Structures are given as C-alpha cells and as structure tokens.
Structure 1
C-alpha cells in the first residue's frame, strides 16, 4: 500500500496536468479514495505511488478507476498482436517475369554459377500451352500459382520470362518445388 508522505500538489499524478486551473474540479484523496486508486493501479500494472491527501482531478480519478476501462485495456493487451486478416494481392511479393522463375518465383541465387538454378529464357509460345495443360492435369496449389502467372502474361517470350531447369523438370513430373 502507499504510505503517508508529504504530497506535492502542483500536478495531477494521473494525467500530469496542472492542478492550478480552477475550472477543473479536483479532489483530495482520503484513506478510502487512496485504497480504491491503489486497486486500480495494481489492476493496470502501473508503478507509481499515491498518498492520503494527494490532490487529483475528479474526472481523471473516475476514468482511471473505471472497471470497464480497465477490462478493455486488459483485453487489448491480451489480444494477439497479429490479426487474422485476409491475404491481399498488395501484400504479396511482386513477381517479375525477367528476373523470377516462372515456376518457383525465385531469382538465380548463384548468379549463373550452378547450371540447375541458371535462369533460362522461354523462347516459344508452345511452352506456355504445354505448361497450361500440365497445370490442368496436376490441379495443385503450385500448378494454380503457375497457371495464374501464365494467364496474366499470355505472351511469355515477349515478356522475356525465365525459368529454372530443375523447377521446370519438377513441375512437369509432378514433384514438389525444389
């Protein structure tokens, strides 16, 4: 509990505003008022001390000790910080046909030093139609993603689209993303 101490009456301990404004009503805390305020301090997990005969604003004390406000603060603090929101297209990583593999969406991490991950250009329109047929046959989340990329850009050679050879092989044979 808070102790009896010499109280500085310049400002309200709850809002840190001056108490000298005569238009705002104030109250001097008694034993009962101090104990009620101490319960609110404990419920809010705050760490300041109060004393008998300390002066505070009436509206500050009412709001600070309001159980509805305290429970709302507790709910807000206990709520998860990450909201369960829908995935938006604007939140997705931008896909670039010239630098990202059509199948895995990644660039060349080895800058051409490993042939499996070297980006190869798409040269023919037949490549698109063949891959679209495979997408329909596989009917998986990966094939849906690849199909969306292909349908967004119907002329992949003109867009300078690229792919990894290992990704193309895995996609055509029905294996997972490498």
Structure 2
C-alpha cells in the first residue's frame, strides 16, 4: 500500500513544476528601480508645486500621475512585443513623452467637458420647468453630469488611443518579410 503523501494529486495543474519556475515576473529589478525613481520624482514635483502654489500643484498632479501610468503601460507593451524591458534613455523618454502627451489629452478632455456641459445646460433649461428665476439649478443638474461623462469618455479614449499598438507593428513586419507574388 502506498503512502498518502506519495499519491498523485488529481487536482494538480497539468503544467509541470519547471514551467512555473521559468515564468518571469512582469518587471526586471532595473526596470522597477527606474519606474519607482520616476514616480518618486513626480511625487516630489507635485508636493513642491503644491507647497508653492496649490493650483499649479493640482494641475501637475493631473498631468504627472496619468503620465506615469501611461509610461508604464507603454513600456509593458514594448516588453511584451520584444521580450526586453526598456532601459536607460528609452525608459526616461517614455516618461517624458507620456508627460508631453498628457497635456493635449487634458485639453481635449476640457473641450469635451465644456462643450457637452454647455449643451446639456441649455437643453435642461429649455426642457424642464425652472426651479429658480433663471433655471440655474437645471443647468447644474443637467449640464455638469453629462459634461463629466463626456470628459471621462474623451480622456479614456485619448489615453488608450495614444498608446502604440504592438500588434500593428508585428503585422507590418510580417507583411514586409513575405514575398509578393
């Protein structure tokens, strides 16, 4: 009779133990150090600007926090496509480019918010009975919520569409390598 510790586990994954050991973590240590350094510098800039001028500190936070997230996502896409995490100047340039891209994204988000907010407020004033003399409450309750929704949709679309597509690059390389008949 066999010992209970030696019996095979029927619920064990079909993968071997070696396959689990070969899987790499998402970020190599050098990449983690660079990413944490960039995030730390961003936090210090935000805190410094907030102490000098709170309004500029808030604007810096609105730009730098999503820029760090976007840079990490862009570098992860490159890692998945090439198998190598960007290092050195490539990592720094990803953070700088992401910061520069966030400025027009926030401008587009502001335009979407104000345009839809204004249109929603005008519709709310004309469509619903006025709660006060000028219909100001209708403007607030009608315009701001749909303006926020439009701004959020605009931000998410711009954020997502500015990330490079690695599948499109791979398809282009495949087309170049195939001979044409």
Which TM class, normalised by the smaller chain length? under 0.3
More helix by percentage: 2
More strand by percentage: 1
Normalising to structure 2: TM-score of the pair?
Answer: 0.25
